[in-house]
Amino acid sequence: MAVDALTSRPASSDVTPDAGLPDSPPPRERRRGPRQLLSHYGSLALLLFAAAVMLAPLLWAVSTSLRVPAESFTLPPQWLPTDFVWENYLAVFEVSQFARYLTNNIIVTVAIVLGQMATASLAGYAFAKLEFPGRKLLFGLVLATIMVPIQVTIVPVFILITQIGWADTLLSLIVPAWPTAFGTFLMRQYFKTVPDELAEAASIDGAGQWQIFYRVYLPLAKPGLAVVAILAFNYHWNEFFRPLVFLSSPENFTLPLGLVNLQGYMGTGSISIVLAGIVISLIPVLVIFIIAQRFVIEGLMRGGLKG
Backbone angles phi and psi of 23, in degrees to 5: -70, 125
Alpha carbon distance 38, 42 (integer Å): 6
pLDDT over 50 at 299, yes or no = no
**Contact between 67 and 83 (Cβ < 8 Å):** yes
**Would you kindly state where each structural domain of the chain is located, as residue ranges?**
33-87, 90-302
| pLDDT for residue 300 is more than 60 | no
In this prediction, residue 3 carries a pLDDT of 44
- Residues 128-143 pLDDT 10s: 988 888 888 999 999 9
d(CA 126, CA 103): 35
Q: Is the pLDDT of residue 187 over 80?
A: yes
Q: How far apart are CA 245 and CA 297, in angstroms?
A: 37
Model pTM score:
0.78
In this structure, are residues 306 and 220 in contact, taking their beta carbons and an 8 Å threshold? yes
* Domain at 90-302: CATH architecture: Orthogonal Bundle (1.10)
Q: Determine the average pLDDT of the residues in 97-108.
A: 93
